[in-house]
Structure 1
Amino acid sequence: MKAQFIEVGTPATKTIHIKKVNTDYLQSPFHFHELCELVWIQESHGQRIVGDHIDHFLPGDLVLMGPNLPHIWLNDASFRETPVKGSVKSIVVYFPANFLQQLSEEEEMIAPVKRLIERAERGVRFTGRTQQEVIKLLSGITKRKGLGKLLDFIKILELLTDSAEFEYLGSIQFENSIHPKDTARINLVYQHLMNNFSGEISLQEVAAIANMTPPAFCRYFKKHTGKSLTRFINEIRVGHACKLLLEDVLSIGEICYESGYQNLTNFNKFFREIKGENPSQYRKSIRASAAKESLF
């Protein structure tokens, strides 16, 4: 997947830069930049791609990404169709990979952060107590000044480096090829797929958006994403289904159709192929996990 290179800003190349997002819906294209990026979604939901990983996101999502890792957070269609002022809130922290090395040369201090940055090259999502403690610090960091802000950020780094409560997002095989050429084309295709996954999507219509013949587009898409068009669409749909299963409001039959599938057989087949279990098992796992957490 080709992605757009974005200049984050000169000040952030040497220190930390904190951005408070308050908008109607997320609009950034699929992009990458030279800094590490820590994202906390306060209010919002939709789909995100980090490297070659596609999944849903909900309030509380806490993800750390290393330099030059392509990514995008895209809201569900309802955010654009009926925008609500301030319905998307997020805190984003940008910082250079060698940030701590600029403050100290002690290997004992630097080594754990180096390991964290190495993990972040694939993107990592933090959960559990680590997620809760980091969110507490992020919720107040925009109000902090000078040394207080720096100390809070170092505490966040400490929590992340010490944590085992995380999951990798991108695959170990993922590599980002930086080719600015065709950025606009692949982004148009990407946006179309993410915005229309719940309906029928034909190869012909997507190839037309890319201004290519269907056979040429299939080769092009596979080369730049590492996936077939069918696999890509199914990962988007299953990611959306996971969000609906987590919300635990709709029946599995309703979720099937809401996610773009026309029958339960196909829904179960692709869900199991991507998640390793069927929708019913996934929902049971979620409920069991929620019940366990409620005991603490």
Structure 2
Amino acid sequence: MKPRYEQPGISDGTTFTCFVRSESTFDFAWHHHQEYELTLITAGIGTRYVGTTVERYQLGAMVLLGPDLPHTFASEQSEANAEAVVTQFRYDFLGPEFFALPPFRVVDGLLARSAHGLRFDHVSDEVRAHVTRLPHLEAVTRTVSLLDVLRHLAEDATASPITGPGYVMAPGLAVRDRIDAVCRYLQQAHTEPVELAEVAALAHMSPTSFSRFFRRVMGRTLTDYINQLRVETACSLLTATSLPVTEVAARSGYRNLSNFNRRFRELKGLRPTEYRAAHPQTGNG
């Protein structure tokens, strides 16, 4: 139930790893690792889970995630395939003091900010092309190209944090394991009624203690997190099917249409019908 700890395979003679992840579907696989991870989506759409944040991703989406930040990408089932270019590296992959050197301090700041995850919504096509080519370059050229990409990203003033200001990395493995067990459970169960006592039992806590614990660690209430999951599920249904809004609400976990409309507008700034109109349909339902 806890996130899988990944240790990326780094080939002999290299200092970081870069590869194309191509699968029929990206399944929910909650995990973390000690490396920074730069991910560019090159095929498919879906939902991205990073720390406390759940949001949809589109073709061309790019994020930089700091070490030990739990995350996963789950692609839409209606998509023909899912593909991403993934680069993973440690802070000292070029030496322990490399990013402290004056020419690279701007990159050092970028890496520090990635502790909460960074989303790049306005990165240029040129930078995306550089990232796409990384897995196919020889070692020296690949290293120089990665540094150039990081420099461009560090200079992007539009980069925005993924997790909110309330997110604080769990202070220890025991706490993190409890939260991760809960997050994995909710990802599967959020479209059904969720009982506080049942969720609290996963963390071996009383409902009252768990509510305080969840809010302290996640920076939001359990109800707020469930609503975030449900609204993202609704977004997927609105864009991938022609189901009536009432059916979308029900399939997303809402038994009350007024509550669904209110929660949806709070999180997306649009009514469900407006959201559907603004996003082209990607499936037939």
SS in 2 for 1:231: helix
- 1:1-296 aligned at under 5 Å gives the runs 5-8=5-8, 15-26=15-26, 29-75=29-75, 78=77, 87-99=81-93, 106-107=101-102, 109-130=103-124, 132-181=125-174, 184-245=177-238, 249-250=242-243, 252-283=245-276
Flag structure 2 segments of 5+ consecutive residues without an equivalent: 281-285
Check conservation: 1:70, 1:176, Cα contact below 8 A.
no
Check conservation: 2:37, 2:86, Cα contact below 8 A.
yes
Give the partner amino acid of 1:90. A
Instruction: Using structure 2 for the length normalisation, give the TM-score.
Output: 0.78
SS in 2 for 1:68: coil
Flag structure 1 segments of 5+ consecutive residues without an equivalent: 288-296
- Farther-moved stretch of structure 1 (19-28 vs 31-40): 19-28
Q: Distance in 2 between matches of 1:145 and 1:69?
A: 29
Q: Distance in 2 between matches of 1:284 and 1:136?
A: 31
Q: Distance in 2 between matches of 1:29 and 1:272?
A: 29
Give the partner amino acid of 2:60. G
| CA shift for structure 1 position 235 | 0.6
C-alpha distance after superposition, 1:128-186 (max 9, x if no partner): 342x3333223222222122322332232232123234322112342212422265554
Q: Distance in 2 between matches of 1:248 and 1:165?
A: 32
Deviation >6 Å, runs of 4+: none
Change (3 A) 1:29 1:217: farther
Length, aligned pairs only: 277
Check conservation: 1:47, 1:236, Cα contact below 8 A.
no
Q: Distance in 2 between matches of 1:113 and 1:218?
A: 38
Give the partner amino acid of 1:111. R
Q: Distance in 2 between matches of 1:265 and 1:28?
A: 30
- Farther-moved stretch of structure 1 (30-39 vs 233-242): 30-39
Q: Distance in 1 between matches of 2:101 and 2:177?
A: 44
Q: Distance in 2 between matches of 1:196 and 1:126?
A: 30
C-alpha distance after superposition, 1:73-101 (max 9, x if no partner): 2345x48xxxx9x9332221112235567
Give the partner amino acid of 1:116. L
Q: Distance in 2 between matches of 1:8 and 1:232?
A: 30
SS in 1 for 2:255: coil
Instruction: Using structure 1 for the length normalisation, give the TM-score.
Output: 0.76
Identity among equivalent positions (%) equals 29
